[in-house]
Chain A
């Protein structure tokens, strides 16, 4: 219903301005909170983190760089399938085509750094610089999460920054730390932040 505010004077009372500011803030916060439902759910990230820990174990037992790389590429495909399945499930439940809203948002933000990561992986592997790959992957994945997370709840870009920090440390770290960095990032960070997102933002 519409009501007329009786003869509001030219200067609005401060309380009304404060209320207007507060209302706009509330609208923005509610929209941010509601947008979290459009991303991959927190418990999905926990699942991806667990598969990454398994992949770390398998990769650490590979005798050749090719075997190590193959393990992580398989893990990347499994993670993408889990994320894609969860998003598709979500999209079907809400009757929105996968590539109309949430899917497109995640795809557009994650694709550019992932493509760069794939190209650099080929280059570094050919040059025999396998030790630099974990740091580069973490750095670029973090970049994608930060940019994509700008539309989501504030904890998502924080997670991206953590990935970037770990990646930045990783590119200067000894090659032997590679598996630990991958476990800490793709395993640990996904599990920790996924749990927080699931608990605080539901799902």
Chain B
């Protein structure tokens, strides 16, 4: 008996589909009650917000802006990078390595959706009061 279509996917593609369903790649929340957990986390929200007002920020600048440690920033920036929300480029300035982050179109859309969501939550509170 033939396997259902979804079960015959390649492992990599299945992962992508799972991520898509969970909204990791910037899929729009299905309703008002869905929230992009990836950027809901405080530090990741800070990274996205800082990059939204700059073409790019270096690792050092970003660390200063969101006030965190090297390790924390690396971990959270990596999560955003894996989700396709930020781009990371590593270059050398002389002998010094330089890491730069940029917000992708998907990341910007995710932030806009998140802002809409937060405003909707506040708007609803005002209506009920």
A residues near B, CB below 8 A? 1-5, 7-8, 10-12, 14, 16-17, 20-21, 23-24, 26-27, 30-31, 33-35, 37-38, 93-96, 101, 202
Interface presence of B128 (CB below 8 A): yes
By size class, the interface of chain B is: 35 or more
On whether the beta carbons of A8 and B33 are closer than 8 Å, the reply is yes
Cα distance A11–B126 when bound, in Å?
10
Mostly helix, strand, loop or mixed at chain A's interface? helix
With A and B bound together, what is the CA distance between A94 and B55 in angstroms? 7
Separation of A10 and B128 alpha carbons in the complex (Å): 9
**Contact between A20 and B118 (Cβ–Cβ < 8 Å)?**
yes
Contact B54 A12 (CB under 8 A): no
- Output the least CB separation between B89 and chain A (Å): 10
27 pairs, A vs B, C-beta closer than 8 Å: A2-B23, A2-B36, A3-B22, A3-B35, A4-B31, A8-B32, A8-B33, A12-B124, A17-B121, A17-B125, A20-B119, A21-B122, A24-B115, A24-B122, A26-B49, A27-B115, A31-B49, A31-B50, A31-B52, A33-B50, A34-B49, A38-B54, A94-B54, A96-B56, A101-B55, A202-B61, A202-B64
A203 to B29, CA, bound (A): 39
Q: Which residues of the partner chain B approach A96 to less than 8 Å between Cβ atoms? A: 55-56
* Alpha-carbon distance between A38 and B19 when the two chains are bound, in angstroms: 35
Give the residue name and chain of the A residue nearest to B110 (CB): A2
Extra contacts, 7 of them, besides A1-B38, A1-B83, A10-B128 (Cβ < 8 A), are A2-B22, A5-B33, A17-B125, A23-B40, A30-B45, A37-B54, A96-B55
Given A20-B118, A31-B53, A2-B125 contact (CB < 8 Å): no
Select one of B24, B34, B55 contacting A4, CB under 8 A.
Answer: B34
Q: Which of B78-119 contact A (CB under 8 A)?
A: 83, 100, 115, 118-119
Contact present for B53 and A34 (CB under 8 Å)? yes
Indicate if the CB atoms of B65 and A34 lie closer than 8 Å: yes
Of the residues A12, A30, A94, contact of B125 by C-beta under 8 Å: A12
Contact of A23 with B45 at beta-carbon distance under 8 Å, contacts A34-B54, A37-B54, A95-B56 already known: yes
Query: Cβ of A95 and Cβ of B55 under 8 Å apart?
Result: yes
Q: Which of A10, A14, A94 contacts B56 (CB 8 A)?
A: A94
| Beta-carbon contact of B36 and A16 below 8 Å | no
A30 engages B24 (CB within 8 Å)? no
Q: How far is the CA of A94 from the CA of B118 in the complex (A)?
A: 31
Q: Judge if B73 is at the interface, Cβ distance under 8 Å.
A: no
- Nearest residue (CB) in A for B121 is A20
Residues of B within 8 A of A3 (CB): 22, 34-35, 37
